Structure 1
Amino acid sequence: MLLLFFLVWIIFNGAITTEILIFGIVVAFLMFGFVCKFMDYSWQKESLLIRRSGYFLLYLGNLLIEIVRANVAVCHFVLSGTNEVEPIMVSFRTTLKSNLAKVILTNSITLTPGTITVSLHGDEVIVHCLDRSLAYGMEESSFVKMLEHMERIGETHGNHE
C-alpha cells in the first residue's frame, strides 16, 4: 500500500525530481499512517500482502494456462461432430478457510471456459460443467493447491487473512 501511494504520487506529478521524490515519500508515509489508524491496516498486513503477491502472480499465470487448455477442450467439443457432450453438475467441499480465497477459486472456475460456478455456500461449491471430462479433479485442482499455499503463508506468520 505504501508503494502504491508513492507510485500514484509520482504518476500524478508527471515528473521526477529530487523534491518530488522526497515529498512523495513523506506523503506516502502520511497516507499509510492514516490508513493504518482509521482503516484497520498494519505493517503486518502490508508484509503479508508483499509475501503473497509473488505467488499470486504465479496463480494468475496458471489461470491463463488453464483458460487456454479449457478453450482447446471446448473448441474440440464444438468443432468435432462425433463427440457427444455430457453436461454435469458437480458439488464438492473446499478446504479453503478464507472467504477471499473461496471467491477467487469460484471466479477462476467461472473464468475457465466450459465451467461455471453456480453456488458457493460455506465450504460447498456447485459447478456446472459442459462435459463430464471437465469435472474431473476439480476439488484438487492447481487453483485449490495454490490458494491453500497462499493461506498457509499467512498462517505461518500469525495472520489469518
Structure 2
Amino acid sequence: MLLIFILFWIVLNGKITGEIIGAGIVISLLVFIFACRYLGYSLKRDVRFLKKIPVVCWYLGNLILEVIKATASVMRFIFSFKYEVEPVLVHFTVDFKTDIGRVMMANYITLTPGTITVDVDGNDFTVHCLDKDFSQGIDECLMIRIIKKVEE
C-alpha cells in the first residue's frame, strides 16, 4: 500500500525529481502510518488480497463467459418467433459465510442477461428468470464454488 501511495504521489505531480520523490516518500509514509493506526489497515490485508487475485480473475473470466452465453440465449429469444418465453421465479439457498459472497452472487445473477436477483434474505436468494431454461442449475453453478474460494 505504501508503494501505491508513493506511485500515486508521483503520478499526481507529473514529474520525477529528487525533491518530489523525497516528499512523496515522507508524505506517503505518514499517510500509511495514519491508515494503519486509525483506519484499521494492516499488511495482512494486502497479503490476503494478493493471494486472492487469481481466484478473483477466475471469477471475472467466468462472469464474462457467462454474460456472453446468456446474451446469446436472450438474443435467440428476441430474434426467433418459434420460442415462447416462460418467466419463472426461483428460490434457492447457498451457504455463503460473508456478505461479500452474497453480494458477488447477487451481482453475478443480475449481470447475466435474462436473470435478475429479486431478493436476498440471508443465504436465501430469489431470482427472476426470463425463461425456465435459465433457472436450471442456478443453485449448483460453478460460480458458487468460485465465490466460496474467494470467501476463504
TM-score strictly above 0.5: yes
Partner of 1:55 in structure 2? 55
Superposed displacement of residue 97, structure 1: 0.7
Structure 1 residue 19: Cα displacement = 4.3
Structure 2 matches for 1:8-27, cutoff 5 A? Answer: 8-27=8-27
Question: Partner residue of 1:35?
Answer: 35
> Which letter does structure 2 place at the counterpart of 1:45?
R
Alpha-carbon separation, structure 1, partners of 2:123 and 2:150? 18
- Percent sequence identity is 39
Report 1:9-158 matches (<5 A). Answer: 9-152=9-152
Aligned length: 152
Task: Quote the offset at 1:14 in angstroms.
Answer: 1.1
Distance 1:29 1:58 in 2: 33
- What is the SS of the residue equivalent to 2:91? strand
Report the CA distance shift for 1:43/1:104 in structure 2 as closer, same or farther (over 3 A).
same
Question: Deviation at 1:91?
Answer: 0.9
- Write out per-residue CA displacement over residues 124-161 of structure 1, whole angstroms, 9 at most, x where no aligned residue: 01100001111111122222111111112xxxxxxxxx
Moved more, 132-141 or 106-115: 132-141
Runs of 5+ consecutive residues of structure 1 not aligned to the other structure? 153-161
The structure with the larger Rg is 2
Residues 26-65 of structure 1: per-residue CA shift (max 9 Å, x gap): 3333222211111122111121112112321221122111
Root mean square deviation, CA, Å? 1.7
Residue of structure 2 equivalent to 1:156: none
Counterpart residue identity of residue 106, structure 1: A
Deviation at 1:22, TM superposition (A): 4.4
Deviations 1:91-133 (A, max 9, x none): 1111211101211110111011000000011110110000111
* CA distance in structure 1 between the partners assigned to 2:24 and 2:124 by the alignment: 46
| TM-score, structure 1 normalization | 0.85
Distance in 2 separating the partners of 1:21 and 1:143 = 44
Give the counterpart letter for 2:95 in structure 1.
Answer: T
Give ranges in structure 2 of 5+ residues lacking alignment: none
